[in-house]
Chains A and B, each alone.
Chain A
């Protein structure tokens, strides 16, 4: 459905995107992951034809977004970051405006508006001016505008930023529901969201794609080791020194603190080594107590850190 070939974007002499190659199938929910400034928003701005590529091509449903931007825009519903809306309009006025500009036939407008309003739970606020809505509702209006013309592709830039946990769940459910039939691309910082919602994840950093695949695949690829979490009562600088000096430890780092003598550590073993026995013996030999000991499965968060270091 979306074919991105060798996409590069420069502004002045700064390279924002560096030969991105990406292929997204119809009906996929794709999570775009990456630190701030990685290029997620830029990529979305180019797919939606708000910006043009410096080089490379983007095709949406077979339509080149540079050669035929209007046609491409018809296939896309887009919710930019920060959900820009016309605050002085009322919800129904705004949605009617979007429907009209998108060329929805006059006799279908009312129906499509109702569908979008129902899908996004806006029934209670339909007559309210947008500036009076809470952030959560504004997000839903933004989403309603993006789906009102029933596009094949939905592009959402950080759709859950700034929402409370309940609202986040609601938006996620909405995305999953819409994603059953349509192609959805959304960007996020919240890694748990990606595992929970996407079929596929793409990790981008510094304008390059550094990893791509199903969330579980990514974890496996970067994992393969199990981190050991251990809580030790002892002076942390010494503990760290001893831990890092162990032969089969790749890296040990302090991750939390219970009180001034008790600290928690993550210990990453060298590939393939089971550190449990060696570790517990080393700690006890040094005269410290182990208060907690568990194997942590490497998470997408750890994978993310590793890949974007």
Chain B
């Protein structure tokens, strides 16, 4: 299989995955809830604070993704295993890795679409007053990376079970755990020499860096590595199939 065919195959798989997202009622429900909650929470305090900033918005975005990402990924592998379509999928001339990539990018694009729908927030703010766009762009970028990390983790978890609910709950638990490893309040009880290490491993700190508008290569590398690790683990789990 040459390079062109390799990517063409991923693209064909990707289209099917994306189609299943846009056909799934759960995804729309969660996006609907996501948009409503995000807008409500943000604008609730926005006028009180009176500042043209999206800081508040990007502060609780990770918490919203915590539920949205597992909701998007819970179905991905679990449903295939349950309905038996995995046996059809993995007897097509595709590698496990191609399928993992296709599922990941489809979920990422869908997440990106939901982020795009929040554009009403910055547009409203810019209408009301001057806003520094740097942190806004940085915030969205950081959100995309964070979301991608959660999605990679969620997909991995979906591959571990046939039950979507379990995939959902475990996904939330896993994403939450990885996020707070480096969060300030959990570092309080930890010996000081460990603190910087844990802070680096945790998902949260890197997000806060990026959302300040500062895009450090260190953070980008971190997220890409995180995503790669869990996609790789995902492929290994599928390969093992428990029964091979």
- Confirm or deny: B9 has a beta carbon within 8 angstroms of a beta carbon on chain A: yes
- Confirm or deny: A86 has a beta carbon within 8 angstroms of a beta carbon on chain B: yes
Q: A51-B243, A52-B244, A70-B1 are in contact. Are A84 and B83 (CB under 8 A)?
A: yes
CB contacts (< 8 Å) of A205 on chain B: these are none
User: A85 vs B16: C-alpha distance in the bound complex, in angstroms?
Assistant: 12
CB contacts (< 8 Å) of B124 on chain A: these are none
B88 → chain A closest CB, angstroms: 5
Instruction: Say whether B8 contacts A88, CB under 8 Å.
Output: no
- Confirm or deny: A98 has a beta carbon within 8 angstroms of a beta carbon on chain B: yes
User: A103 vs B4: C-alpha distance in the bound complex, in angstroms?
Assistant: 11
Question: Which chain B residues numbered 81 to 108 have a C-beta less than 8 Å away from chain A?
Answer: 83-88, 90-95
Instruction: Say whether B88 contacts A78, CB under 8 Å.
Output: yes
User: A45 vs B5: C-alpha distance in the bound complex, in angstroms?
Assistant: 26
> Interface segment, B17-25, B65-73, B114-122?
B17-25
Instruction: Say whether A101 contacts B12, CB under 8 Å.
Output: yes
User: A52 vs B13: C-alpha distance in the bound complex, in angstroms?
Assistant: 23
- Confirm or deny: B212 has a beta carbon within 8 angstroms of a beta carbon on chain A: no
Instruction: Say whether B88 contacts A80, CB under 8 Å.
Output: yes
CB contacts (< 8 Å) of A196 on chain B: these are none
Write the chain A residue with the least CB distance to B20. Answer: A88
CB contacts (< 8 Å) of A101 on chain B: these are 9, 12-13, 16, 92-94
CB contacts (< 8 Å) of B91 on chain A: these are 48-50, 73, 76, 78, 80
B83 → chain A closest CB, angstroms: 6
Write the chain A residue with the least CB distance to B98. Answer: A101
Q: How many residues of B contact A (CB 8 A)?
A: 27
User: A82 vs B87: C-alpha distance in the bound complex, in angstroms?
Assistant: 11
- Confirm or deny: B236 has a beta carbon within 8 angstroms of a beta carbon on chain A: no
CB contacts (< 8 Å) of B86 on chain A: these are 84
Instruction: Say whether A103 contacts B93, CB under 8 Å.
Output: yes
- Confirm or deny: B55 has a beta carbon within 8 angstroms of a beta carbon on chain A: no
- For A52, A70, A98, the residue with the greatest tally of chain B CB atoms inside 10 Å of its CB is A70
User: A101 vs B99: C-alpha distance in the bound complex, in angstroms?
Assistant: 11
Q: Which listed residue, B9, B87, B93, touches A45 by the CB 8 Å rule? A: B87
Instruction: Say whether A100 contacts B12, CB under 8 Å.
Output: yes
A150 → chain B closest CB, angstroms: 14
- Confirm or deny: A93 has a beta carbon within 8 angstroms of a beta carbon on chain B: yes
CB contacts (< 8 Å) of A89 on chain B: these are 16, 19-20, 23
User: A134 vs B145: C-alpha distance in the bound complex, in angstroms?
Assistant: 44
Per-residue interface assignment for chain A, residues 232 to 272, with 1 indicating a CB less than 8 Å from any chain B CB and 0 otherwise: 00000000000000000000000000000000000000000
A119 → chain B closest CB, angstroms: 19
- For A85, A86, A93, the residue with the greatest tally of chain B CB atoms inside 10 Å of its CB is A86
A226 → chain B closest CB, angstroms: 44
CB contacts (< 8 Å) of B8 on chain A: these are 100, 103
Q: How many residues of A contact B (CB 8 A)?
A: 30
CB contacts (< 8 Å) of A84 on chain B: these are 83-88
- For B16, B24, B84, B86, the residue with the greatest tally of chain A CB atoms inside 10 Å of its CB is B16
B80 → chain A closest CB, angstroms: 8
Q: A85-B85, A103-B5 are in contact. Are A97 and B90 (CB under 8 A)?
A: no
User: A72 vs B67: C-alpha distance in the bound complex, in angstroms?
Assistant: 41
User: A70 vs B9: C-alpha distance in the bound complex, in angstroms?
Assistant: 12
Write the chain A residue with the least CB distance to B86. Answer: A84
Instruction: Say whether A97 contacts B16, CB under 8 Å.
Output: yes
- Confirm or deny: B15 has a beta carbon within 8 angstroms of a beta carbon on chain A: yes
A197 → chain B closest CB, angstroms: 23
Instruction: Say whether B15 contacts A102, CB under 8 Å.
Output: no
Q: Which listed residue, A86, A93, A102, touches B92 by the CB 8 Å rule? A: A102
Q: A51-B243, A70-B1, A97-B12 are in contact. Are A86 and B85 (CB under 8 A)?
A: yes
CB contacts (< 8 Å) of B84 on chain A: these are 80-82, 84
CB contacts (< 8 Å) of A52 on chain B: these are 244
Pairs A-B, 5 closest by C-beta atoms = A84-B84, A100-B12, A84-B85, A73-B93, A48-B91
Binding site for A on B (CB under 8 A): 1, 5, 8-9, 12-13, 15-16, 19-20, 23-24, 83-88, 90-95, 241, 243-244
A-B contact pairs, 17 of them (CB 8 A): A49-B91, A51-B244, A70-B1, A70-B95, A71-B93, A76-B91, A78-B91, A80-B91, A81-B84, A82-B84, A84-B84, A89-B20, A97-B12, A100-B15, A101-B9, A101-B16, A103-B9
